[in-house]
Amino acid sequence: MPGSGFAALAAYLDDSASEEQRRAAAAALCQSLHAGDTTVVQVVVHLEEWCTSSDHLKRGMGTRALAEVVTGAPTVLLLEQLSLIVPFLGDRLADWSSTEPAARALTAILRRKQSNREIE
């Protein structure tokens, strides 16, 4: 993943990061996505080990980072990407450590659908 997007994602996932630092990192990641410097696919590939970890804290943080992308940069998500992300997030609803971020991301997708009829 190119520099700024990777650095922002790494900062977001840092165990020692404060909530304020995570908000700033999420904003930087979304800005990198909007600018085209980073792609959703690159973020998802990087988050794979986080989102599928046996460590519930790491898994929850990975889902939370994915939710930041979905809520902060919804216009960069393509229909093909949504067709993969939505079922994954739906499955995360059953994982207590990922329930809140998954629900937040799915809500953002539903709001996008309501305001933008291109998603069918």
pLDDT of 118 > 60? The answer is no
pLDDT of 117 > 80? The answer is no
Q: What is the pLDDT of residues 76-103, one digit of tens each?
A: 888 888 888 999 999 999 999 999 999 9
pLDDT of 2 > 60? The answer is no
Which of 7, 49, 2, 14 is CA-nearest to residue 28? 7
Sign of the alpha-carbon torsion through 32, 64, 10, 86: negative
Give the H or E element holding residue 112: helix 99-115
Q: What is the pLDDT of residues 4-33, one digit of tens each?
A: 788 999 999 999 999 999 999 999 999 999
Tokens of residue 57, six digits: 């804290």
pLDDT score at 10:
95
pTM: 0.86
Which of 44, 82, 75, 78 is CA-nearest to residue 62? 44
pLDDT of 116 > 70? The answer is no
CB 63, CB 92: distance < 8 Å? yes
